[in-house]
Amino acid sequence: MSLGDLWQALLPVGRHPATGGYHRFSWTEEDAACRNWFARAAGQRDMRVEQDRNSNLWAWWDTAEPDSAPAIATGSHLDSVPAGGAFDGPLGVASGFAAIDLLREGGFTPARPIAVAAFAEEEGGRFGVACLGSRLLTGAIDPQAARELRDRSGVTLARAMAEAGCDPSVIGPDDAVLGRLAAYVELHIEQGRALADLGAPVAVGERIWPHGRWRLDFTGAADHAGTAGLAGRRDPMLAFAHTVLAARESAGRAGGLATIGRVVAEPGAVNAVSARISAWLDARAPDTDTLTGLVEGVLSGARDAASSNRVGCAAHRESLSEAVVFDPVLRDRVSRALSGAGIAAPALPTGAGHDAGILAARLPTAMLFVRNPTGVSHSPAEHASMADCEAGVVALAAVLADLAGGTGQGGTAGQ
Ligand code: GLV
Ligand code: MN
Ligand code: MN
């Protein structure tokens, strides 16, 4: 089965008929459909499927010897941001299965198991914490704090998991799963347009910028839009508006990025001053000190604006992903495997977060990026050509063959 067949089977799941945007939130019906797709893809390849304690999926190409060396894993995630694109996440999972097809067509037999993984709630699109499945797996988040996370309707993670047939009482660090892995290589659509400018279909990840999410709550006093005089109002919307501008200014000054992409006004009446505004800040920068300074600039702008408008202001950090430099030994090996297969792949940093970044705290990880001609991502306009995606599969197959070792034509599969 080709990458195209895998892709076509997944494409309709969670796609909004009018906008084309994807809504694949964790532990929902759409998520179940994505998981069924994963199980079918694994079944068609005689791969054993496991769901770990944290709802992450694993499909195993086992070796004949039960006690072979630890596995090489690949994969990505199947969940999306609200109104997201088709490629962010699913491309890595589908490419994992397609790379295995290519290796088998070349008669390759691995010396180590090869696994394809799909990590749960990578985008934090439902519960707000990015890379939740890999954070739980590696112990980067307290399981009780995770169980208490709430979605936009107030449903806790514990309840969402239970309703989807998963046991929330067992989530948390899982050394048994991690102990079976020697390395993880994630293929992902590029989320900028560096590769388009370099004229190459595939790149090797070099590092991930540190980034995080903060919730800002501005509390004022609700009042009548037609009778409350401007001077007497305690309007949290004004403090919020100043904060949006402070974020833009602070990011520009620091050479980083700041985005406020979600805001909730309560009670949300057109004809009333808001009682409360909650806004979510996403901030990223090339290094930790710059990120810290950038966020401090936004928060001090928010506090000043709150005090001059006589409203309250509280900031709460919802997640932080430290800077990641991918394991240099593994990265060199990936680059060598690609050159050996005749693939010239430049090294690229990224401002986007990935499970490979979270897993890097526990095992060597690497990334491959596939060209995205417009650079647009987290939008229905996200795109990569099928030819480039297939070039990504060939590259991934060469890397898996090299890392897993074995017999047969792995390194040149599909060439
Ligand atoms: C995930 O794509 C992120 O960087 O937010
Ligand atoms: Mn994403
Ligand atoms: Mn992603």
Residue 278 near residue 315, CB atoms below 8 Å: no
CA of 129 to the centre of ligand 2 (A): 12
Tell me the CB-side half-sphere exposure of residue 338, using CA atoms within 13 A: 26
Which pLDDT value is given to residue 413?
41
Instruction: Spell out which residues have Cβ within 5 A of ligand 3, the ion.
Output: 88-89
pLDDT tier at 2 (50, 70, 90 boundaries)? Answer: confident
- Burial of 232: CB neighbours in 10 Å, binned 0-12, 13-18, 19+: exposed
3-state SS string for 235-284 = CHHHHHHHHHHHHHHHHHHHCCEEEEEEEEEECCCCCEECCEEEEEEEEE
> Which atom of ligand 1 is least distant from the CA of 191?
2
- Give the pLDDT band (50/70/90) at residue 121: very high
The per-residue pLDDT of the chain, averaged, comes to 96
Over residues 319-328, the mean pLDDT reads 96
**pLDDT at position 410, please?**
65
Q: How many CB atoms lie within 10 A of CB 128?
A: 20
Instruction: Report pLDDT for 399.
Output: 98
Q: Which long-range contacts (CB under 8 A, 24 or more apart) does 325-330 make?
A: 325/206, 325/207, 326/205, 326/206, 326/207, 326/208, 326/356, 326/360, 326/365, 326/366, 326/367, 327/360, 327/364, 327/365, 327/366, 329/364, 330/183, 330/364, 330/365, 330/366
116 neighbors 48 (Cβ within 8 angstroms): no
Position 412 scores a pLDDT of 46
Q: Dump pLDDT digits (tens) for 340-375.
A: 999 999 999 999 999 999 999 999 999 999 999 999
Given the DSSP bridges, would you call strands 181-189 and 406-407 parallel, antiparallel or unpaired? unpaired
Pocket test for ligand 1, best of 354, 369, 372, 382 (most atoms within 8 A of CB): 354
Torsion of CA 94, 40, 54, 69, to 10 degrees: -70
pLDDT at 415: 38
Closest CA to 366 of 351, 384, 348, 378: 348
Could you tell me whether strands 406-407 and 202-208 are parallel, antiparallel, or unpaired per DSSP bridges?
unpaired
Q: What is the pLDDT confidence band of residue 1, given thresholds at 50, 70 and 90?
A: low
Q: Ligand 1: which atom is nearest the Cα of residue 378?
A: 2
Q: Using a 6 Å CB cutoff, which residues line ligand 1? A: 123, 130, 352-353
Gap from CA of 30 to ligand 1 centroid (Å): 20
Task: Quote the pLDDT of residue 100.
Answer: 98
pLDDT in tens, 219-234: 999 999 999 999 999 9
Cα–Cα distance between 188 and 340 in angstroms, integer?
21
CA of 192 to the centre of ligand 2 (A): 12
Cβ atoms of 117 and 51 within 8 Å: the answer is no
Rounding to the nearest 10 degrees, give the CA dihedral for residues 252, 258, 262, 265. -60
- The per-residue pLDDT for 407 is 86
- N-to-C CA span, the chain: 17
Phi/psi region, residue 224 (left: phi>0; alpha: psi -120 to 50; beta: rest), is: beta
**Does the pLDDT value for residue 77 go beyond 50?**
yes
Minimum CA distance residue for ligand 1 atom 1: 353
CB 394 within 8 A of CB 341: yes
pLDDT computed for residue 272 by the predictor: 98
**Looking at ligand 1, which atom is closest to the CA of residue 88?**
2
Ligand 3 center–CA 123 separation, angstroms = 7
Q: How far is the centre of ligand 2, averaged over its atoms, from the C-alpha of 89 (Å)?
A: 7
Q: Is the pLDDT of residue 182 over 90?
A: yes
Residues 170-199 have a mean pLDDT of 96
Model pLDDT, residue 414? 38
Q: What is the mean predicted confidence (pLDDT) over 49-68?
A: 94
User: Of the candidates 275, 278, 269, 150, which has an alpha carbon nearest to the alpha carbon of residue 214?
Assistant: 278
Query: Phi, psi at residue 199, to the nearest 5°?
Result: 70, 30
What was the pLDDT predicted at 411?
47
d(CA 235, ligand 1 centre) in Å: 32
- How confident is the model over 266-293, as pLDDT tens digits? 999 999 999 999 999 999 999 999 999 9
User: Comparing C-alpha atoms, which of 343, 323, 348, 360 is closest to residue 402?
Assistant: 343
Of 266, 55, 238, 257, residue with least CA distance to 152:
266
The helix/strand/coil state of 349 is: strand
Write down the pLDDT at residue 72.
98
Is the pTM higher than 0.85?
A: yes
